[in-house]
Amino acid sequence: MPNIHPIVIHFPIAFLIAAFICELIGHFLNQNYFKKTAKWTLLIGTIGLGVAAFTGWWGHKTVSHSESSYALIEQHQKLGFITLGLFTFLVLLQFVALPKVEKKRKIILFIMFINIVGLGLMTWGAHLGGRLVYEMGVGVQSVDHSNSIETPQIDDEFEKLLSE
């Protein structure tokens, strides 16, 4: 079975960014629709992040990688699990703590702060994942071009446009 981590990971990234944006809009415009959307999008994104962490862990066990990439894989993996823990904590704050608190302003500011930290960690983890693929070739299958019959030709009109 191929590693599906590169496919799965993009969904929680999108959901968690959208959750933060909806959270900001909801609080600045005082719109309950956006606040509810943020809450549920955060939950879906965090569940997706759990799936992505599992598929990344599984990929680490099943995808071939060089010895030199191992340290970066470990760092990427630790960041992923820390990020998952942070967003899980954020879900608990949103669904359990926030509804029980009378004065919500401080906890909302704390939630925003945790969200920014989580998105920052997620971004750094994504950067490391990109380095693993594009610099170290982890999970990438090399293609042998020595048996190529022809070199692809650029269309004449396209070449003309490029030269202008």
The pLDDT tens digits of the residues spanning 21-68 come to 999 999 899 999 999 999 999 999 999 999 999 999 888 777 777 777
Q: Write down the domain spans for the chain.
A: 5-140
CA pair distance 71, 78, nearest whole angstrom: 11
Query: Per the confidence metrics, is the pTM higher than 0.85?
Result: no
Residue pair 40/94 in contact by the 8 Å Cβ criterion:
no
pLDDT number for residue 83:
97
Cβ of 107: how many Cβ atoms within 10 Å? 15
pLDDT number for residue 143:
64
